[in-house]
Amino acid sequence: MRMNILMLVTLLAGGLPFLAAPSSAQVSGERLAKQALEECNRGRLAVDRATRLAHFQQGQSLGERAVAADEGSADAHFALFCNLGELLRIDGESLTSLFGLRRMMKEINRTLEIDPTHIGARSAKGTLLVRLPSVLGGDSEQGEQLLRQVIKQAPEAVNARLALAKVRCKQGHHQDAVTLAADALAIAKEYKQIEFVPEAEAVLQQARANGR
């Protein structure tokens, strides 16, 4: 009996780390998702169109591989969404591809299906809801509510503040927009989210100009 107990303890002690370790597919998916998101951020920082395009296309490829490696990874779907979205608006805020929009929405919805608390995805969904026309699934009121929830839950959320600042500016609440954009810029600098600094500066400048 003692031998059996000792053997069982040994097997459990040796086997638990093995059982708890993520699969190679999960590890690969996580790595690819991280690389895909890094490409998205690099593309946002790039100045010329060709460089931006190259980063987003590489990010899309990495994101697709991440999803293929681990379909249940929220981060993989979000990284793919990020690059798909940036490719859609590479020449401005206008969405030119209905197919591309549907694919992008599929990825953000899948991200939230896997992880409803994913702050990046919640912020992005709120941004889409306030920007898209109702015929394409937009809902400004719901989007604004979601963005405010994100800001409350994640005080360091930059993108949500910028999206809400644009909404408030459009509604004529320019001082509120200035406050949101200024906070977004300060947070982006503090947390070294440099990919958001140029946009935060632009939104802040526009809000101040409109408020004069």
- What would the two tokens of residue 126 be? 């709120």
pLDDT truncated to tens, each residue of the chain (212 aa)? 443 433 333 333 344 333 345 566 677 999 999 999 999 999 999 999 999 999 999 999 999 999 999 999 999 999 999 999 999 999 876 666 788 999 999 999 999 999 999 999 999 999 999 999 999 899 999 999 999 999 999 989 999 999 999 999 999 999 999 999 999 999 999 999 998 999 999 999 999 999 88
Residue 199, amino acid: E
pLDDT of residue 94: 64
Residue 14, amino acid: G
C-beta separation of 77 from 32 below 8 A: no
pLDDT of residue 18: 37
> Whole-model pTM?
0.83
Report the alpha-carbon distance of residue 61 to residue 81 in Å, rounded. Answer: 11
